[in-house]
Structures are given as structure tokens and as C-alpha cells.
Amino acid sequence: MIVLEVAIPIPLNKTFYYLPSKSVDPKDIVGKRVKVSFGKRTLVGYAITCQDIDDNNSFKLKYILDVLDNVSLITQEVIKLSEYISKNYICSLGESLASIIPVSMKPPKRFLKNKDILNKIIQERHTLNTQQTNAVNLINKAIDKNNYVLFLLHGVTGSGKTEVYINIIENALKHSKSVIMLIPEISLTPQFVNIMTKSFGSDIGIWHSGVSNIEKYNLFLKAKTGNIRVMIGARSAIFVPFENLGLIIIDEEHEYTYKQDQKPSYDAREIAKWRANYHNGVVVLCSATPSLETYKDALDCKISLIKINERINNKELPEMKIVSLKNRIFKSSLLLPGTVEAISKTLTRKEQIVVFLNRRGYAPAIMCRECGSVYQCSRCSISMIFYKNPDLLKCHYCGQIKRLPITCSVCKSKKIMVFGTGTQKIEAELKKLFQNVKIFRLDGDTVSSKGSYEKVYNGIKNGEYDILLGTQMVSKGFDFQKVSLVCIMDADTSLYLPGFRSVEKTFQLITQVAGLCGRGDVRGSVIVQTNHSNHYVIKCAKNHDFVSFYNIEIEHRKKMFYPPYCNLAKISIKNKIEKTVDEDSVTLFSFIDKIIENFNLRLKLLGPVSAYIAKLDNVYRRYIIVKGERQNILKLADYLDMFKQSCGTIINIEIDPLNLI
């Protein structure tokens, strides 16, 4: 009896067997997504093989309900990659396959032309400077030789990395190779589409969360058949099925968005290395502020380092001015007098401004002046964010919305005060100070609809807005020629968050946002408002000195035994009952400690500790942190299934988490 082996995206690391429909050849189903009955549910699975089994064992098997694909999607590379993801990110084969070939993709009834594809437009090409030429030559040499090579392109902001991208993509296409270019944020899509389409026209495909499931299927098949040879997109674009993949570019490689935060928690940078190695291709990691792990690999000669330390046309890096917030009067505006004056002068010169504050909403909290209590979300152990027009409170984690209270829920006092500043408040203050100025606020509350990113990009580019105000979305590599002033309202918002990467993230944010100005004819100016002007991260950022920052921060990492000197795993323990999650986390810690001792795994344990947000959407969370070599962490993970937790407790392990909070 011929049966189909099907991998189902559930947290159970085994495959299942189903009978094919009697009218269909089983071999024609292999490699396709199938709809199957699993218990009381109907799920989408992946038919990976067909096997001949004893007829006596077939009576319990169910039939395949439906075959979703007309062509096979699962190649030998997909199988090997899914096995790699399953092993290294601790998930089932079905879960890893679902990350590569999304369950949600829908075959179109008829294949439509990709809306993003335009005809090639001849554009003026810029002459490369000496450092750009050197970068292009080194990378192209590796592409020409069909060698697996990793590069770190460490170029200061405004150094013309995009011109390098165009030249190396062009060379890859000349050798009939395909290219994946990853960008960190969907907001950059219009910018890169505009630039790349002018150079490569119909060879381009665009892949991100805003693309419909039907469009994704269409793109998937076009990539597989070679009808498009360049794919630009966010994290999941790393999986597009090019069969002759020669070049992968990862722009702003330091960005956290390349790490999947849901199971399987893969890192697109690691997947890029795996795929390039499989195809004998080249990976180019690019950033003005590379992650400490990547830069250390470059210094250790595991990655070839290419530096571009000057801006195009010898333009100067922006001048930074550090302004202390320490003497600011309590409750006064974050817009200090000197900052307001600088904005006014810039507007008078008809130049554009970026105002950065990494907190959305009107204010991050409301507080009772009588008893000092802060209004928290009833589902999460975090303060609710105050919004105006209409006045209400929002939780940015579970989405709960409540009316602004009239009295304190603790002492019944009516002395309720707004505490802190968010982008909505800064926007209101800017409009009050500069009444005829056009402002675009770019944060998670303003860009939820399709087309929002195009609006902000084209609006700033065409001079329709005078001020771009926003959160970290504005730091994602925009290229605006008319921006001459950047104002960083509070450089400390990420500095003292619990987590070993908080200082690194602060340096990256300041440097990236500062790099938005001075790309045109006028040298840029940056105002950095901070309470910690003597902190080394502020001093290094002021001097555009990544190397000094790296040297200081890497010593802290070494002393505290954090990446890149070890690998990490975060074991989360979750339950709706606080007492149960506390008991299970303590018991699990002892269980893990004994496993490490008995098998001599040479791992260090921290915890158990409450998560930074101890309760999230009515679920209590505790963490155990594991430090050591990845191979030992993976061995430990094999034993976690032996632990018998309480009813309702969910235990999950994440390899190399972005944060420990």
C-alpha cells in the first residue's frame, strides 16, 4: 500500500501518514501542500515522501482531503533547510516547513502580473569613488569564482552603499545568478523599489507582509521558474525558491527585525549563510553600526571586512551637539529652548527636519499625584499609554483600550496627571509652536494602512512635509536630501532597559537617526538630548566612533559572559496561575541544573526570574537563561520533554533570543 508521509506544522516533532485519493498518483502529490484531517481539526501539511507499507497497517489511516498546489514546491534544498531549522531553532519539521513555504499562500485562479514590476528605466549612474570601487571589485571577484564568501560592508551613513548594491547585483545577473536583498523594515520598500526598478526593471519582485497571499504564491512560482531573478523584501524573503542563488545582501544587518520572534525563532542572517553555502554564493552584511557579533567575526577573519569610512562626494558627517535634560523643569516640554531655536532657523532656510522620540502615544503613563500609583493594564503588568483626541488609554501589548479615569482607582483622588512624553504630544507642541508647518508623524499608530509608507517617503522626498516626526521607524535607512537637522528628543529611552543589548541598541539608534541629515548640499546638524551626557555611548555616538564604542562594549560582554562570547537560550515558563508558574519555574531550574551536572554540559544558568512584563494578556511569565556553547544548549533542549510540568503550564525554549526581557 502506497502512503504519503506528511509533515504538519504542530509542536510535535514527528511526521504522519495518510492515504492518497484513489484517483491521484501519490508521486504527483509529493512536494505539495495538502489539506488533512488531524484529530478534530483540518490542517495544512506538507507531503514530503511516498512509501510502500504493509497493507495490514493501513486500516487506521485517513485519506488526504485536498491537494493545494498544482506544482511541487518542496525541493531537496527545502528539505535540508527545514531539517537545519528544526534542529537549530528547536521546532518540528512541519513548523520549519511552514516558515519556508507559508501555509497561508493561495494559488491564484489565474496568474496575474506582479503589480510591483515595471519596465526598466535608464537612470543616471553615479561614478563610484575609490572605496566604493574597491568594495564592488572584492565582492564581484567572489561572485565570479562561485565561492561561498561572507562580507561585512561597514560603511558610514551616506557612504553610497546602495550604489555598491546595484553594481554587485548587476554582476550577479550577468552570471545568470539570482539575488535576494533583505531590508529591515517595510517602510523602506518604496525607496528600494524606486531605485532598483530603474536599474533592473522586470527582474525585480517585492516580498513583505503587505503582499497578499495570492500575490506571494505568484511571486514564489516566478522565483522558482526564473521569471524574476531579484527579490527585495523583509525577513521571510530569505526563503524565496531561487534555484541558482548567487548573492544575498542584508541591508542594516544589525536590525532586530531579522530575528523571528515567534516559533520557529529563526535568524534570517543565519539562514542567508546556510543558503549561500548551499549554492556557493556570496553574503554581504551591510551596516554603519554592525552588531557586535558580526564585527567580532570580521575582526577574527571569519568574515571579510570592507570599510567605507567617507560619505559620497566627500560630504562631512553631521555635527552633533549634546544637550543635557538634567536641569529641565519637571513637567516641562521635551522641546528645550535651544532645540526649538534650531528647528525655527532650519525652517526659515526651507530645509527639512527629523524629530526622533522612541515612544508613541501622547504620554507613556498617567499617575495619581496623591498616592503616586500608576494606572496599569488589567491584563498586563505594564502602564497603559495615554492618547489624546479622543482621550483614552491603550495597552501596546494586549491591545486593551479604556477610558481615561476621572479618579484614582487606589485612593479615589481626582489629582490625575499625565507623566512623560510621546510622539503625539511632541506633534501637538510642534504644531502649536510652528502653526503653518506640515508635519508627518511616522509611528505604529499612523502607518497601519497599505500605502502609508509610500505616502511618507514620497511626501518627504517631494517636499510636501517640513518635519518628519517618529519612532525608530525613521531610523531605517531613508535617504532624504533636504533634511539638514535631526533632533533626538530623549536618547536614553533604550539605554537602561533591562537587557545586555540596551547600550548597543542606543548607539545604533543615535547613529542611524543622525545619519539621516546632511546628505544634500548642507552639512547636517544633530541635537541629542540626554540625561547621561558623560556615558561612553553618548560620547562615542557624538564622535561617530563605532570602533571605540565596540572596544568598550565588547569588554563588558566578555566580563559578563554574553554574546559573542557565548550562545544564549531563553526558556520561558507560562501559566495563567501565578503560584503555578512560580513553582514550575523553580522545579524546572533544579531539573535543568541536574541535567547539566549529570551530562557535563558546561552551561551556566540564570534565574528563574520574572519577565520584564511579568504578566502579559493574563498569562504570567518566568524565564530561565542558559549560557554556553550552542551544541551543549541543543543537547540540553533534548531533555526538556522529560520534564513534567503542571496542567496549563507552557514551556518554550528560544535559541539566541534578541532580548532577555
Place of cell 572596544: 551
**pLDDT recorded at residue 187:** 67
CB atoms within 10 A of CB 598: 9
Q: Report yes or no on 471 lying in a domain.
A: yes
- Give the single-character DSSP code of 234: S
Query: Taking a C-beta distance cutoff of 8 angstroms, is the pair 491, 506 a contact?
Result: yes
Lowest average pLDDT, out of 265-274, 435-444, 579-588, goes to 435-444
Quick one: pLDDT at residue 112? Answer: 47
Check pLDDT > 50 for residue 118: no
Report the C-alpha dihedral over residues 308, 309, 313, 317, rounded to 10 degrees: 140
The C-alpha cell at 509 is 539608534
- Give the pLDDT band of residue 469 (cuts 50, 70, 90): very high
Give the DSSP H/E element, type plus range, for residue 614.
strand 604-616
Give the separation between CA 237 and CA 375, rounded to whole angstroms. 41
List pLDDT tens digits, range 510-549: 999 999 999 888 899 999 999 999 999 999 999 999 999 9
Q: Are strands 16-18 and 204-207 parallel, antiparallel or unpaired?
A: unpaired
- Domain match, 627 and 516 both: no
Q: Is 420 left (phi over 0), alpha (psi -120 to 50) or beta?
A: left
pLDDT in tens, 561-571: 999 999 999 99
Q: Are residues 289 and 247 in the same domain?
A: yes
Domain termination site, one of 539, 557, 575: 557
Indicate if 134 and 35 belong to the same structural domain: no
- Residue that wins the pLDDT comparison between 129 and 447: 129
- The secondary structure of 112-171 as a DSSP string is PPPTT-------PPPPP-HHHHHHHHHHHHHHHTT--EEEEEEE-TTS-HHHHHHHHHHH
In this prediction, residue 116 has a pLDDT band, given cuts at 50, 70 and 90, of very low
- Angle, in degrees to the nearest 10, between helices 452-461 and 189-200: 70
The verdict on pTM exceeding 0.95 is: no
pLDDT attached to residue 242: 96
pLDDT for the residue 115: 44
Indicate whether 324 and 271 sit together in one domain: no
Question: Exposed, middle or buried: residue 473 (CB in 10 Å: 0-12, 13-18, 19+)?
Answer: buried
pLDDT in tens, 324-380: 998 776 567 889 999 999 999 999 999 999 999 999 999 999 999 889 899 999 999
352-366 per-position pLDDT tens digit: 999 999 999 999 999
Residue 525 domain boundaries = 315-364+420-557
For the sheet containing 385-387, what is the strand order? 385-387, 392-394, 401-403
Asked whether 80 and 278 are in contact (CB, 8 A), the reply is yes
- SS3 (DSSP) at 594: helix
pLDDT at residue number 2: 87
Lowest mean pLDDT among 15-19, 24-28, 44-48, 427-431: 24-28
What 3-state class would DSSP assign to 321? strand
Sign of the dihedral through C-alpha 326, 328, 334, 339: negative
606 and 504 housed in the same domain: no
Q: Is residue 303 part of a domain?
A: yes
Q: Which three cell numbers stand for residue 533?
A: 551626557
**Number of domain units in the chain:** 4
Residue of 474 and 624 predicted with greater confidence: 624
Within this chain, do residues 278 and 326 fall inside the same structural domain, yes or no? no
The answer as to whether 370 is a domain residue is no
Q: Are residues 96 and 170 in the same domain?
A: no
Residue 257 lies in a domain: yes
What are the two backbone dihedrals, phi and then psi, of residue 160, each rounded to the nearest 5 degrees?
85, 35
The predicted pLDDT at position 331 comes to: 60
pLDDT per residue over 480-515, tens digit each? 889 999 999 999 998 988 889 999 999 999 999 999
pLDDT attached to residue 661: 78
Element holding 82 (H helix, E strand)? helix 76-88
**Cell digits of residue 627:** 549560557
